[in-house]
Amino acid sequence: MSAPHRPAARWWALGVLSLVELIVTLDVTIVTIALPQAQAELGLSDGHRQWIVTAYALTFGALLLLGGRVADYWGRKRAFMLGMVGFGAASAWGGLAQSGTELIAARGFQGLFAALLAPAALAMLTVTFTHGRERNIAFAVFGTIAGSGAAVGLVLGGVLTEFASWRWCLLVNVVFVVAGLIGGKLHLTESKAEGDNRYDIWGTLTVTLGLGALVYGFTLAEAGWGRSDTIGFLALGVVLLAVFVRIQTRVAEPLLPLRVLLHPVRGGAFLVQAVVGSIMIGSMLYLTFHFQIVMGMSPLMSGLANVSMTAVIMFLVPLVTKILNTYGPRPLMIVGPLFSAAGLFHLAGITPEGSYLNQVLPALVLLGIGLSMLFIPLQNLALTGVEPQDAGVASATVNSTFHIGGSIGLALFTVLYHSTMESSLHSGNAQSAAYTDGYSATFIASAIAMIAASLISALLIRGTKSELMPQYEEEDTVVPAA
């Protein structure tokens, strides 16, 4: 079926689809603010605490490509409606969870249904607004909401946790889902992709189980890298991912065609995006803990304290867009991670007695400057030299690598945090000093990862501006920010 033709119907559809993008984006961060309360109420250890974030990010990232294919072949509106129902049910389950295991499982199911929702929403946006000024406006609105979703999640999570309960950080999704279902029923029309509709089930299973085993193995490393279970799960993850690569070379309709990954520019962009994900989902979680556990901030103040970085990013987006159009993505991709690294090194200097204005705010400003240089170029670089039939999977891979990088990064940073904190305690330091020592170690590791991202950009992202940037018609296409 075709997209809605009446102008009013199209704009109502944009509102519904933008609401969905806001839900799946803010759910990465909304629970972050609530973690200290949820951990205390459910009796979670620090090691298990991270899985409340990881379960969502890992399933979302690992299943995003399959979700896009399901939406294209089964029907985008149908996938959208099922995804909304499933996401709402998983959110209600998580909000009512009576144990850490229940909450982690619910977050995993949230990620599963988000992986169906997100690509369905973007695909319907694409077929609803096909060209011209309206398309530019629609993608600008959609991209702005995607870019601001993390900040909305932090503030909303702070408000709900402080004035209601951490459980409402999940239960509030039910309200959004009801609005989305009503809007979807009234204003969205069905559409499907033409052609073969075979699914790469074995590829999906091997990559999902492989990534899960790898992340779980890193989690077990907290008790020792030489333990048999640690080595076993890490080895299993590597083997399953190797099998996944093998499958992608042999099936007719691979989940992730290797030609998308093996292009040096795109491969470099995906690696940088994985590093960015590890910072945004992984190490920045510990800044929230520093605010609440060490500095004694309320959940609301903690959420507001985090927003300064997002505000810098949003403020600089127009300037970064002009620089991108003038000089191309390569300078931004090299310099941006260095700004971020400087901010993270500054953040590593936190102390129990330090103030937000001196120790944190300058770091968040530097991080905002650096990340603003990365978000927009990354979307463009994902489509460099890509064949038309691979454009969707290449764009989705950017989002997948962000969440997968966040999952792996969080597991590794958790191990580093615990080992550093335990060492500090054994040295006779106070609990608050041990906490900040652990947080500082994660920020130093994050800064080193950002320097590595700059080197990756310098080595792999080569070419002139016209070679690196897809040739979009100015009036017809706008690529939304990550």
Q: Say whether both 160 and 273 belong to one domain.
A: no
d(CA 94, CA 434) in angstroms, rounded, equals: 31
CATH label of the domain that carries residue 277: 1.20.1250.20
CA 400 remoteness from chain centre: 8
Say if 258 falls within a structural domain.
Answer: no
Say if 306 falls within a structural domain.
Answer: yes
Q: Which of 193, 192, 180 is closest to 13 using CA atoms?
A: 180
Instruction: Name, in order, each residue with C-beta under 8 angstroms of 324's C-beta and a sequence gap of 6 or more.
Output: 332, 376, 377, 380, 469
Q: Say whether both 30 and 124 belong to one domain.
A: yes
8 A C-beta contact, residue 114 and residue 56: yes
Predicted confidence (pLDDT) per residue in 66-125, tens digit: 888 888 888 888 999 999 999 999 999 999 999 999 999 999 999 999 999 888 887 888
Say if 257 falls within a structural domain.
Answer: no
How many structural domains compose the chain? 3
Q: Say whether both 331 and 402 belong to one domain.
A: yes
Q: Say whether both 277 and 248 belong to one domain.
A: no
Domain C-terminal end among 149, 165, 194: 194
Average pLDDT over residues 152-178: 91
What residue spans of 221-263 are helical by DSSP H? 228-248, 258-262
The token pair that represents 456 in the structure block:
């990756």
Average pLDDT score, the chain: 86
pLDDT-above-70 percentage for the chain = 92
Identity at 432, one-letter amino acid code: S
8 A C-beta contact, residue 59 and residue 283: no
User: In this predicted structure, what is the pLDDT of residue 369?
Assistant: 94
**Distance in angstroms between the alpha carbons of the first and the last residue of the chain:** 29
User: In this predicted structure, what is the pLDDT of residue 28?
Assistant: 81
Question: Residue 158: CA atoms inside 13 Å, Cβ hemisphere, count?
Answer: 20
Predicted confidence (pLDDT) per residue in 410-467, tens digit: 999 999 999 999 999 999 999 999 999 999 999 999 999 999 999 999 999 987 777 7
Q: Say whether both 214 and 273 belong to one domain.
A: no
Say if 391 falls within a structural domain.
Answer: yes
Q: Say whether both 245 and 339 belong to one domain.
A: no
Domain C-terminal end among 194, 213, 239: 194
Predicted confidence (pLDDT) per residue in 347-388, tens digit: 999 999 999 999 999 999 999 999 989 987 887 787 777 776
8 A C-beta contact, residue 152 and residue 26: yes
d(CA 140, CA 354) in angstroms, rounded, equals: 39
Domain C-terminal end among 172, 194, 216: 194
Instruction: Name, in order, each residue with C-beta under 8 angstroms of 449's C-beta and a sequence gap of 6 or more.
Output: 275, 278, 279, 409
8 A C-beta contact, residue 399 and residue 256: no
Average pLDDT over residues 272-284: 89
Give the pLDDT band of residue 190 (cuts 50, 70, 90).
confident
Q: Say whether both 336 and 187 belong to one domain.
A: no
- Based on DSSP, count helices (H) and strands (E) in the chain, helices before strands: 17, 0
- Pairwise pLDDT comparison (395 vs 245), residue with the higher score: 245
Say if 224 falls within a structural domain.
Answer: yes
Q: Find the domain containing 229 and state its range.
A: 200-252
Say if 115 falls within a structural domain.
Answer: yes
Q: Say whether both 58 and 147 belong to one domain.
A: yes
Q: Say whether both 15 and 87 belong to one domain.
A: yes
Q: Say whether both 14 and 141 belong to one domain.
A: yes
Q: Say whether both 118 and 19 belong to one domain.
A: yes
Q: Which of 51, 158, 28 is closest to 99 using CA atoms?
A: 51
Q: Say whether both 207 and 350 belong to one domain.
A: no
Say if 411 falls within a structural domain.
Answer: yes
Say if 162 falls within a structural domain.
Answer: yes
Predicted confidence (pLDDT) per residue in 16-69, tens digit: 888 888 888 888 888 888 888 999 899 988 778 889 988 998 999 889 888 888
3-state secondary structure of 79: helix
CB contact burial 342-373 (16+ within 10 A = b; e otherwise):
bbbbbbbebebeeebeebbeebbbbbbbbbbb
Predicted confidence (pLDDT) per residue in 264-277, tens digit: 998 999 999 999 99
